[in-house]
């Protein structure tokens, strides 16, 4: 991938931050920018100026020398109506930002020109022309953002194209045609993009929103019609339902269209880590069903599928998971066959040679437990414990002698929870009493403190996620809760499950197994097995 066919324009830090419940601090922006640069994107849209002090500070503190590839972009609108471009605060702010690339958003839809700006069509063209020319004369790379271009074209084709010509005549380096409302179909994208390509010679960019679920398809369609810059966000974050998802567009361009768009052939392997990193920074749970980067993208559950994939991955995978930095997963459930179980057992270090049909016994246990409400496809740690227990290879790290939880509520005050736990390890007994924000938090605190007295290696183990699902909710208070717990030791994470008619007992089972697996994985790693 020496020379790029398509340039990638990332707007996660600007358009992506407009998504619901998403916000980036100044330090967040710096961290994300470094990862995007490492991935090999060409442009990073940093934010909107003026009026946003955090974005302005980020742009001014951005050290281009620290970034090998990406150029920072500051965005604002064209000059205001009936105002000199040299006195317009939007344009002055763009220059003051010191960003190497500046972009101006202009109106391409007569509906907006007439009803929002309330100016004549000619004045709008002058606003575009003056703004681009002014910035171009100050030695900046200039992007013109043709907002609502596709909607504008469908209503007044000639005028929409005239707005592009105005930007080109003024010296725009890149003209971005936008499907701002996200309502355009791929066939329309191809037709309109083709006509835009015939109208102007300037490099074209596409900016698509996903309101019709077609942002990725529309972006690819635009590339097929000659667009050479694609805008989007990591994980498709953005206003309303989001923007075109670069985590899907990039591998489609490289693996399906054979178009170079990252800095090197190996860069694509960074895609999944970058996707998950941005999710973490945005404080959003990664979408499991996302193409390429979601944990389900290369997960196999049905026994026949697993058997085929183990023989030839191409049977049920359209690309290699390693190509995008992901990994293949085999989910364990009552649908699993012997191949799945064998693979899982091998991964946790169970020797199949002399196991006497271990996978068959595990499979029978799984089927019985799933009838009771257990589900192991997302609880690998519980599966590992089950298999080790059946093999007689699960060490008794501790014995639980008793635990007790007391919840107190005083009228007018928040309820308080207190838990006590007593454990035995090799005959030594330890107990602990702790408070928490709720009964499960108190139980976890007491359990952790008590266990840490024997195993200092669990100091860094902590609960990171706790979920309760009610099975057969139509049974009301007699329904059975299923608890899923996620834990980490700071380097790796694992999930355990508990099921009981008592939600506290289900929680306790999941917590207990979570700590057992943490201790087990440390022992497995020391012995050289894969945990």
Please, where in the chain does CATH 3.30.160.270 lie? 399-527
- CA dist 495 and 457 (Å) reads 19
pLDDT of residue 223: 98
Based on C-alpha coordinates, what's the Rg of the chain? 28
- CA dist 249 and 236 (Å) reads 10
Give the tens place of pLDDT for each residue, 273-287.
999 889 888 878 788
CB burial of residue 41 (10 Å; 0-12, 13-18, 19+)? buried
pLDDT of residue 527: 39
Confidence class for position 155, pLDDT limits 50, 70, 90: very high
- Report whether pLDDT(475) > 70: no
CATH fold for domain 399-527: Double Stranded RNA Binding Domain (3.30.160)
Confidence class for position 50, pLDDT limits 50, 70, 90: confident
Confidence class for position 97, pLDDT limits 50, 70, 90: confident
Residue 53, φ and ψ in degrees, nearest 5: -55, -40
pLDDT of residue 304: 64
- CA dist 135 and 92 (Å) reads 9
Confidence class for position 386, pLDDT limits 50, 70, 90: confident
Identify the weakest region by mean pLDDT among 60-74, 143-157, 219-233, 320-334.
320-334
Range 135-152 average pLDDT? 95
344 versus 418: the higher-pLDDT residue is 418
342 versus 19: the higher-pLDDT residue is 19
Strands 229-232 and 7-10: parallel
Kindly report the CATH number that applies to the domain delimited by 7-281: 3.20.20.70
pLDDT of residue 411: 76
- CA dist 355 and 495 (Å) reads 25
- CA dist 523 and 353 (Å) reads 21
- Report whether pLDDT(351) > 80: no
Residue 421, helix vs strand vs coil: strand
How does DSSP classify residue 233? B
Range 348-377 average pLDDT? 63
- CA dist 346 and 527 (Å) reads 14
Contact between 178 and 150 (Cβ < 8 Å): yes
pLDDT of residue 393: 79
Give the tens place of pLDDT for each residue, 31-43.
899 999 999 999 9
pTM equals: 0.69
Identify the weakest region by mean pLDDT among 118-132, 349-363, 382-396.
349-363
227 versus 312: the higher-pLDDT residue is 227
Range 395-407 average pLDDT? 91
Q: 512, 509, 458, 467: which is closest to 488 by C-alpha? A: 458
DSSP-assigned states of every residue in 368-379: HHHHTT---TT-
Confidence class for position 68, pLDDT limits 50, 70, 90: confident
Confidence class for position 98, pLDDT limits 50, 70, 90: confident
**CB neighbours (10 Å) of residue 73?**
26
Q: Pull the structure tokens for residue 529.
A: 């097995």
pLDDT of residue 415: 82
Residue 48, helix vs strand vs coil: strand
Give the tens place of pLDDT for each residue, 492-514.
888 898 988 888 999 999 999 99
Confidence class for position 529, pLDDT limits 50, 70, 90: very low
465 versus 42: the higher-pLDDT residue is 42
Please, where in the chain does CATH 3.20.20.70 lie? 7-281
- Report whether pLDDT(243) > 60: yes
């Amino acid at each position: 991938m020496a020379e790029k066919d398509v340039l990638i324009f990332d707007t996660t830090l600007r358009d992506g931050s407009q998504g619901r419940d998403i916000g980036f601090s100044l330090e967040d922006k710096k961290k994300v920018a470094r990862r995007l640069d490492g991935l090999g994107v060409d442009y990073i849209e940093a934010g909107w100026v003026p009026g946003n002090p955090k974005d302005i500070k980020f742009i001014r503190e951005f050290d281009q020398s620290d970034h090998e590839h990406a150029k920072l972009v500051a965005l604002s609108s064209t000059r205001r109506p009936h105002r000199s471009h040299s006195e317009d605060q939007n344009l002055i702010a763009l220059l003051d930002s010191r960003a190497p690339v500046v972009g101006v958003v202009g109106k391409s839809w007569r509906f907006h020109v007439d009803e929002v700006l309330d100016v004549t069509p000619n004045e709008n063209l002058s606003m575009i022309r003056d703004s681009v020319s002014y910035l171009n004369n100050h030695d900046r790379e200039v992007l013109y953002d043709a907002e609502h271009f596709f909607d504008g074209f469908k209503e007044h084709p000639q005028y929409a194209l005239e707005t592009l010509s105005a930007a080109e005549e003024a010296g725009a380096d890149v003209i971005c045609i936008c499907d701002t409302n996200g309502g355009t179909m791929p066939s329309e994208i191809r037709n309109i993009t083709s006509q835009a390509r015939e109208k102007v010679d300037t490099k074209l960019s596409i900016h698509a929103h996903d309101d019709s679920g077609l942002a990725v398809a529309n972006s690819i369609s635009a590339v097929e019609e000659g667009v050479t810059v694609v805008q989007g966000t990591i994980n498709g974050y953005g206003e309303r339902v989001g923007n075109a998802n670069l985590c899907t567009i990039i591998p489609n361009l490289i693996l399906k269209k054979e178009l170079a768009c990252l800095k090197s052939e190996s860069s694509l392997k960074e895609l999944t880590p970058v996707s998950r990193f941005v999710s973490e920074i945005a404080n959003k749970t990664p979408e499991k069903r996302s193409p390429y980067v979601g944990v389900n993208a290369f997960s196999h559950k049905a026994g026949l599928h697993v058997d085929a994939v183990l023989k030839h991955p191409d049977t049920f995978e359209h690309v290699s998971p390693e190509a995008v930095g992901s990994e293949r997963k085999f989910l364990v459930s009552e649908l699993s066959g012997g191949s799945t179980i064998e693979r899982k057992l091998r991964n946790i270090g169970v020797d199949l040679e002399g196991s006497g049909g271990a996978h068959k016994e595990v499979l029978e246990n799984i089927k019985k437990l799933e009838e009771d409400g257990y589900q192991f496809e997302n609880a690998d740690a519980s599966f590992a414990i089950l298999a080790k227990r059946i093999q007689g290879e699960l060490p008794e790290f501790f014995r639980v002698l008793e635990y007790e939880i007391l919840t107190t509520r005083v009228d007018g005050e928040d309820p308080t929870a207190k838990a006590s736990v007593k454990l035995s390890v090799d005959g030594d007994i330890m107990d602990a009493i702790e408070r928490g924000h709720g009964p499960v938090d108190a139980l976890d605190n007491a359990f952790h403190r008590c266990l840490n007295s024997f195993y200092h290696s669990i100091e860094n183990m902590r609960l990171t996620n706790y979920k309760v699902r009610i099975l057969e909710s139509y049974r009301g208070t007699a329904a059975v809760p299923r608890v899923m717990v996620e834990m980490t030791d700071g380097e790796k994470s694992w999930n355990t499950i508990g099921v009981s008619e008592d939600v506290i007992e289900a929680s306790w089972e999941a917590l207990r197994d979570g700590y057992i697996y943490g201790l087990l994985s440390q022992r497995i790693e020391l012995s050289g097995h894969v945990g």
